Structure 1
Amino acid sequence: MHHHPATLAWRDNGTPVSTRFDDPYFSLENGLAETRHTFLAGNGLPGRLRDGFHVAELGFGTGLNLLALWHMGREAGVAVRYTGFEAFPMAAEDAARALEPFAPAFPDLVEALVAQWPEAGGVITAPGLSAEVIPGDARETLAAWQGRADAWFLDGFSPAKNPELWEPALMAEVGRHTAPGGTFATYTAAGHVRRALGEAGFTVTRQPGYGRKRHMSTGILA
């Protein structure tokens, strides 16, 4: 399968920005705190963690959300599984540069991830982690996926800039690939996204967002 590498620009403070979508990969000051609030706490983690807990993500990006999950699993003594769906995988050298500021927060994890960076998709195996990044258009790759996630990180890009990652048919596939009682969390509270996830079988709740983002959305599969 052909893949298109991500094209990046860099802000002065080191934040990588997708030139394709004109969208930063993470909040400038505090990407990690935002990840923990939105995707981890938003999915009831670490409370729900258990060995083999499987997180799937629309958008792999810099791998920051994966790192935060892996680190949390390590602290809890639990091995986690992860599957990321990424249309535009980042080049390894860009990933190394993007993740450099997070190396102190994740001693040895950043190095391990960069060493196995899935530039064309692929598998990452390390102590406490079994991960796969599936390249290509999620509208095709998710439909073909055999797995079911216990929790979804719906990170994509902003719905206004990348609407196809939020269309109802894809949200229906998210629902279809969620284990009973599974959850999602996303930083967006856009009405059309919330409606699509509701139609996909989730009970959707609006919650306070991180920092200046007033609202985010979470849900549990009925």
Structure 2
Amino acid sequence: MADQQARLSWREGVIPVSDQFDDPYFSIQNGLAETEHVFLAGNDLPRRFAPGFHIAELGFGTGLNMLAAWRAWEETGQTGALRFTSFEAFPMAPGDMARALEAFPAVAPWAERFLAAWSGHGACDLGTLHLEVVEGDARMSLPSWTARADAWFLDGFSPAKNPELWEPALMAEVAAHTAEGGTAATYTAAGFVRRGLEAAGFEVTRIPGFGRKRHMTQAVKR
């Protein structure tokens, strides 16, 4: 069980902001477009999708990244289930998720299916998606995780406000739980994050970011 549930404020009534970290959960400009640019394109998805593909994530938040990936998985005609594992210290209540996801009608069909089955904790089998949310501090839970992901969505709150989720030791665990040739992507281009990924064994590239963010980070495990 998580240490505690996410505490939220709402900006303009639609954008959830973490009271724990004083940071919004998604881009004020267009959260879904940012997800597609950073996490899908940043991991060369959906081109790399294949049977049994496994995405892992630091920071489940509203579930938007998962929904965008699941939509892409189904719309590209993949067979079988997409595996998606997310590590989240402060899970959001399902009612808050539903309110936040109303901002993204493009994923509404997937959000409805997810929310109808999601208890707020644990795992969820949605046929074409096998979701597991691992609650608690990822620094404690990731080392004991036994799987390896093909792609990582590194989506913790801003490194300036949530440095624990970007520290070198955790990036080393991300690398240890990445398949050979696997990838990671994140919206941040902070130097200490890039250096941590490089030290962990990733080949790191700084590429154009989304919206007002000039740069983001793309990483490949060689």
The residue type equivalent to 1:15 in the other structure is: I
The Cα shift of 1:118 comes to 4.8
C-alpha separation between the residues in 2 aligned to 1:71 and 1:5?
27
Q: Which moved further from structure 2: 83-92 or 93-102?
A: 93-102
Q: Secondary structure at the match of 1:160?
A: coil
Q: Give the TM-score, by structure 2 length.
A: 0.96
Residue 111 (structure 1) aligned with residue 112 (structure 2): yes
Q: Which residue of 2 aligns with 1:87?
A: 89
The aligned residue for residue 45 of structure 1 is: 45
Give the residue type in structure 1 aligned to 2:185: A
Q: Secondary structure of the equivalent of 2:103?
A: helix
Task: Deviation per CA, 1:36-80: give whole Å up to 9, x if none.
Answer: 000000000111011211000000000000000000000111231
State the 1:8 CA deviation.
Answer: 0.4
Which residues of 2 match residues 102-181 of structure 1 at below 5 A?
A: 102=104, 104-119=105-120, 121-181=121-181
| CA displacement, residues 63-99 of structure 1 (integer Å, 9 cap, x when unaligned) | 0000000000001112311000000000111111111
Q: Is the 8 A contact 1:185 1:217 kept in 2?
A: yes
Match of 2:106, as an amino acid?
A: A
Q: Which deviates further from its counterpart, 19-28 or 122-131? A: 122-131
SS in 2 for 1:62: coil
Aligned to 2:101: 99
The 2-side partners of 1:129 and 1:2 are apart by 23
Q: What amino acid is the match of 1:59? A: G
SS of the residue aligned with 1:108? helix
Letter in 2 for 1:172: A
Alpha-carbon distance in 1 for matches of 2:191, 2:208: 15
Q: Distance in 2 between matches of 1:215 and 1:68?
A: 21
Q: Deviations over 1:97-134 (max 9, x none)?
A: 111122x2124211111123352x31111131111000
The Cα of 1:2 is off from its aligned counterpart by 4.6
Q: Among all aligned residue pairs of Structure 1 and Structure 2, give the percentage whose two residues are the same amino acid.
A: 63
Q: Give unpaired runs (5+ residues) of structure 1.
A: none
Is 1:208 the counterpart of 2:217? The answer is no
How far apart in 2 are the matches of 1:40 and 1:97? 24
Name whichever of 146-155 and 121-130 sits farther off.
121-130
Cα distance in 2 for residues equivalent to 1:2 and 1:34: 27
Tell me if structure 2 keeps the 8 A contact 1:3–1:89. Answer: no
Deviations 1:2-49 (A, max 9, x none): 531000000115100001100000012310000000000000011101
TM superposition score normalised by structure 1: 0.96
Pair 1:2–1:202, CA change in 2 (3 A): closer
Q: Do the aligned partners of 1:13 and 1:28 also contact (CA within 8 Å) in 2?
A: no
Number of residue pairs aligned between Structure 1 and Structure 2: 220
Unaligned runs of 5+ in 2: none
- Given the superposition, is the C-alpha separation of residues 10 and 107 from structure 1 closer, same or farther in structure 2, using an over 3 Å criterion? closer
Note if contact 2:57-2:155 (Cα within 8 Å) is conserved in structure 1. yes
Backbone CA RMSD of aligned residues: 1.1
